[in-house]
Amino acid sequence: MKGLLNISVVKETVRAYFDLTKFRLSSTVVFSSAIGFMLGSTSIHYGLLVLFALAAFLTTAAANVVNQIWEKDLDKLMSRTENRPLPSGRLTVQESLVFLIVCLVISQFILIYYFNIKTAGIALLSFGLYGFVYTPLKRYGPIAVAVGAIPGAFPPMIGWLAATNQFGLEPGILFGIQFFWQFPHFWAIAWVLDEDYKKAGFRLLPSSGGRDLNSAFLIMIYTLILLPLCWVPFYLGMTGINSAMIAMLVSVLFLVQTFHLMRKMDKKSALQLMFGSFIYLPVVQIAYLLDKL
């Protein structure tokens, strides 16, 4: 019986640390980073790809831990987050800090030893911006979304740097597409979760009126920017015409969803836009990669 209890405790502890990483969110970052790595590679070394993906995951997990430590008391106020490891008491701040440090040290070692200092530096900058700038700004208004979009757009750039050790227009456009995508993405989420966010004092919608036409209009404007941007990888010779056409098609469909939100101005339309944003980025990035391969 005692052995069974110990196994149960171990499972609960492992689950708590797993939840602390925000695995689904971290996995999307890893995916985007891996796309950048493969787009930058002349030939893909799968062993290095796995190592890079591990480092990307650990860096993101560390940033997520900072976010949760900072917001542990606020998370108790929202139904969406009240069961996270810290507000639920499954882990302490001290345990979370140790986990954070371990994740960050391992990720930095991998990036410096197996890749290059530029990649490690941008990854560390991304960690700092997300954890120590974006997170506290969330209670001060929509400026947080613009700040958070910077570390949020770094993953494909970091992947390109890991593969090439070179800055340039190519990683810049990968950054740009993901940067502008985040505005309709985050604002759609903020629209859907507005009531829950208000419990913690988060004000993330772009208009002071919250769920109003001004917010919907700004969501449309930032989505519109994606239409010309999605062609730039083709003009830079990174990919072919097929992926540019696919990217244009899904960009138009994404834009149509924003017009639907402007017309309906309801939570259902925002939810549809949110799911559309989840689909948009991986479709575009996979199209770029397949065209290159």
Domain positions in the chain: 1-167, 176-293
* Least trusted range by pLDDT, from 12-16, 21-25, 195-199: 195-199
pLDDT-derived band of residue 3, with 50, 70 and 90 as boundaries? low
Q: Could you give the CA distance from residue 38 to residue 293 in angstroms, rounded to a whole number?
A: 9
Q: Average pLDDT for residues 150-162, to the nearest whole number?
A: 96
What gap in Å lies between CA 164 and CA 178, rounded to an integer?
Answer: 20
Q: Output the pLDDT for position 164.
A: 95
Q: What is the dihedral of CA 244, 249, 252, 253, to 10 degrees?
A: -140
Q: Does the structure show a pLDDT above 70 at 5?
A: no
CA distance readout (Å), 222 to 116, 138, 181, 188, 228: 33, 20, 7, 12, 12
Instruction: Determine the topology of domain 1-167 in CATH.
Output: Tetracycline Repressor; domain 2 (1.10.357)
The predicted model gives 116-144 an average pLDDT of: 93
Q: What is the pLDDT of residue 2?
A: 52
pLDDT digits (tens, 9 = 90+) for 184-226: 999 999 999 988 888 888 888 998 888 999 999 999 999 999 9
